Structure 1
């Protein structure tokens, strides 16, 4: 009986993870081949159910510009997720909220590489904000962490 319940639980869990992955758009990430913290952010995204396609580039600012994200919000990697651009170490929960709410915006940004953000896991880090970036470059705080 115990094994039967475990099997049902495992099937239900795998089924829900599969449905979650099917509903989340692919993440195209543009990163330097040598950046370690980008790899940790990718792991964070994968653990949250996103499928990630990595594009290793030598010029992150050029990739950022091509996707339309203003340089003042720059970080070590830039991503395209559905119709949005995501700059830097944005938490997966913020991206999931963005995709659910679908605001009219360019995307999200966590400028620089703040300690405590996903991939920059440092205990007792100062707070940081995730910004909602409009197509004209204006922002508002989307989430506080």
Structure 2
């Protein structure tokens, strides 16, 4: 027969371990994205779903004046695409792959955001054969290539 103290000590240790585990933060918190898009755009829905499948919590806001959103968020005219998102303080314009977004959020450069201009075939949310998706960074220092995906 086990001494009562040993049983009690085991129960206390088990309870403490369970309480500690219950209050630990999730190792990877879901990143939040707010996607602004035209209500009729299907590829924008595809990109939002792609973000969700990759662990992002996505809120989609349908807007008739998507160009007004782009102006307000300072997306250069030559980088426009069909939708605009805000993710962790950065603007993400168009069919940008998660790898580029994760790089942006990890490095946290002094950019306003990144963009995949136009609608590259085969990019996230777009049908067709895959072509190079040249993602550009933009902000106070101008526009430069951020990466090719």
TM-score bin, normalised by smaller chain = 0.7 to 0.9
1:106 aligns with 2:112: yes
Listed as ranges, the gaps of 5+ residues in structure 1 are 1-17
Structure with larger Rg: 2
Q: Deviations over 1:3-45 (max 9, x none)?
A: xxxxxxxxxxxxxxx643x252x11111011100001000110
Listed as ranges, the gaps of 5+ residues in structure 2 are 1-25
Matched with 1:128 is: 133
How far 1:103 sits from its partner (Å)? Answer: 0.5
1:139 aligns with 2:137: no
- Looking at structure 2, the residues matched to 121 and 82 of structure 1 have their Cα atoms a distance apart, in angstroms, of 27
The question of whether the paired residues in 2 share the 8 Å contact of 1:61 and 1:71 is answered with no
2:125 to 119, 123, 129: 119
- Looking at structure 1, the residues matched to 140 and 63 of structure 2 have their Cα atoms a distance apart, in angstroms, of 24
Root-mean-square deviation (Å): 1.4
TM-score (norm 1): 0.80
Q: Deviations over 1:38-67 (max 9, x none)?
A: 010001100110001111000111011111
- Looking at structure 2, the residues matched to 29 and 126 of structure 1 have their Cα atoms a distance apart, in angstroms, of 24
Alignment of 1:29-40 (within 5 A): 29-40=35-46
Runs of at least 4 residues of structure 1 off by over 2 A? none
- Looking at structure 1, the residues matched to 27 and 64 of structure 2 have their Cα atoms a distance apart, in angstroms, of 35
Matched with 1:47 is: 53
The question of whether the paired residues in 2 share the 8 Å contact of 1:88 and 1:110 is answered with yes
